[in-house]
Structure 1
Amino acid sequence: MPSLLQRVKAKMFIFAHRKTTALLDGEYGSVFKGRSLDFDDLRSYVPGDEVRDIDWKATARHGSPLVKRYTAVRRHSVLLLVDTGRTMAAEAASGEAKVDLAIQAAGVVGYLACRHGDDVGLLHGSVEATRYLPPRSGEHHLERLLREVQEAVRPEGPASALAGQLDYALRYLKGRLLVVGVADEFLPDARTEELLRRLRVRHEVLWITIKDADLAGEERGRSSRDVGQGFAIPKALVDSSEVRQAYAAAMARRDAQRRDVFRRLGIAEEQVGSSGEMVSSVFALLERHKSGKAKRAG
């Protein structure tokens, strides 16, 4: 069986030269720059300690200043949070299957993590179930995660339900993670937005949106099908310029609303429409995330 990770690597090196790959490595590493520490215990404050490290609640109970002591984190954990509902079996803007682009996105991020010695896990699912594979190291494990995504997405499968996966992450996953969401052009409802907000408070969160195909793709005159609803779109509607314009306008409004949600939440989001855009899009995503962190810190 052909290796999915090898396909990811091949496309990475086709669309990126060595300098770009090095820059991408650097941007990935910058995500964890800063504290990169886990809480260990408390000790008495001494002159020169960072004021931000004072535990004010413990200080109030103790009667004298106490600061948090940390231990260095040598290995980080990346969580690939992937929508594997049936809409991911549809076509992306490029005509490629959305699931193939999701695998490419997860593979690029996972490969960067492996290169840095970090662990990679997977959380995916649909309206029927959520499945979690804990973070582990190594390319063999990453291959298993990519294969899991590929096998989970089916045109006749259950619908997407990202709120279920987000709720699972908040309930059961401990420790600070780098969460990389991969989904299509969904618009978060009020509950999903609240779950994303809470997730962003606990973890580093980045988001990759796989762009939908237009009403009939690049080819006029062929049949179209709504994978999410499971019905064919009549050819007369597909060929109608008025319908196509109205559809494009509606999608543009939806896109603006989704971008506004992620902006309000402080989550860096990048849209990808083809495998050829993946490396540059992941680079831009990491850059945007780093810029957002710098603004919040300032």
Structure 2
Amino acid sequence: MTTLLQRVKSKMAIFAHRKARGMLDGEYGSVFRGRSLDFDDLRAYVPGDEVRDIDWKATARHGSPLIKRYVAVRRQTVLLITDTGRNMAAVAQGGETKRDIAVMALGVLGYLAHRHGDVVGLVSGDSSGTRTLPAKGGEAHLEWLLRHVHSHASEDAAGSSIEEQLEHVARTVKGRHLLFVVADEIAANPELDRLLRRLRVQHEILWLTIRDADLASAAEWYGVDDSSSLLSHLAQSPAVAAAYTQAAAERDAGRKNMLRQAGITEGSVAGTHDVITALFALLERHRRAG
């Protein structure tokens, strides 16, 4: 039986054929700026590496740029934060369930952390409550975290509310961690804005939004959040489509502005097929913003 983590590793292996894996590892390693590091070895320079890490003497001897690789003296803690409410059972823009996309994204980031010797924990839940799974190392632990998300995000779950999980982190988590948030297309509001600014003072935060399905992509729409249905003739109405598009654009603009003002880097993803490239771009933008 193929495990969830095996699917993640297979996706990363395919990506490695198109781009050097060191690029993705390097972008992840840049998130914790200023952490204590020990020299490990040298590797070939790839686009995206910091120029300051080039070993110029070794480069001169070798004839092409070489980068110094380091290992962390102490492990960092990565908290995967996601909504497992019934919104995540809905279909995303790429045609897959948001749950499957979330599991892939959490798995990729978690596996990068594992490869760097960091420990990974999970904060997940819905509007009815939040559960924390402690941060540990190892592939078996990461598989457990992914299975928890996969099994709890369903149409039978309570309503979605990522604010509940973020509030739980703000109230209970001590120390400085990397928070990787995977969420639905949420709308900005003053309370969430204050919460994010509070969290950003303490933590590094990466935010990945899973895109909603297009209004015209299905013959009949079913509202997972409130169990309502939208008949096909309404979904295909030009007036309804225009109003929906405008509302979605306003919601996206508000969320992007809220996250930007809080100093949080956001990326978006439509399906499992573009999770790797979306995460690479997210990590790269976070490094440049810092």
TM (norm. structure 1) is 0.82
State whether residues 188 and 251 of structure 2, in contact with CA within 8 Å, keep that contact through their aligned partners in structure 1: no
State whether residues 216 and 224 of structure 1, in contact with CA within 8 Å, keep that contact through their aligned partners in structure 2: no
Distance change >3 Å, CA 226–CA 16, structure 1 → 2: farther
Q: Does residue 277 of the first structure (1) align with residue 281 of the second (2)?
A: no
Larger Rg belongs to: 1
- Cα distance per residue 1:234-262 (max 9 Å; x no partner): 22201212211221121111111111111
Gaps of 5+ in 1: 38-71, 294-298
Counterpart of 2:284?
A: 287
Counterpart of 2:146?
A: 146
Distance 2:147 2:103 in 1: 8
* % same residue: 51
Counterpart of 1:129?
A: 129
Aligned-pair distance for 1:289? 1.1
Counterpart of 1:192?
A: 192
Q: Does residue 22 of the first structure (1) align with residue 22 of the second (2)?
A: yes
Q: Does residue 242 of the first structure (1) align with residue 255 of the second (2)?
A: no
Distance 2:147 2:26 in 1: 27
Counterpart of 1:99?
A: 99
Equivalenced residues, count? 256
- Cα distance per residue 1:55-75 (max 9 Å; x no partner): xxxxxxxxxxxxxxxxx8510
Distance 2:15 2:240 in 1: 36
Amino acid at match of 1:226: G
Q: Equivalent of 2:251, from 231, 250, 254?
A: 254
Distance 1:204 1:198 in 2: 12
- Cα distance per residue 1:8-61 (max 9 Å; x no partner): 111222244264321000010111131449xxxxxxxxxxxxxxxxxxxxxxxx
Amino acid at match of 1:251: A
Gaps of 5+ in 2: 38-71
1:17 is paired with a residue whose SS is: helix
Distance 1:18 1:116 in 2: 22
Q: Does residue 224 of the first structure (1) align with residue 221 of the second (2)?
A: yes
Q: Equivalent of 1:266, from 259, 263, 266?
A: 263
Distance 1:136 1:87 in 2: 28
Counterpart of 2:110?
A: 110
Aligned-pair distance for 1:102? 0.3
Amino acid at match of 2:104: Q
1:131 is paired with a residue whose SS is: strand
Runs of 4+ in 1 over 6 A off after TM superposition: none
Distance 1:216 1:90 in 2: 15
- Cα distance per residue 1:193-231 (max 9 Å; x no partner): 1111111100111100000101142x4xx2111111111
Distance 2:240 2:16 in 1: 38
Distance 2:274 2:250 in 1: 23
1:163 is paired with a residue whose SS is: helix
Distance change >3 Å, CA 128–CA 36, structure 1 → 2: farther
Distance 1:286 1:228 in 2: 31
TM (norm. structure 2) is 0.85
**CA RMSD of superposed structures (Å):** 1.5
Distance change >3 Å, CA 114–CA 18, structure 1 → 2: farther
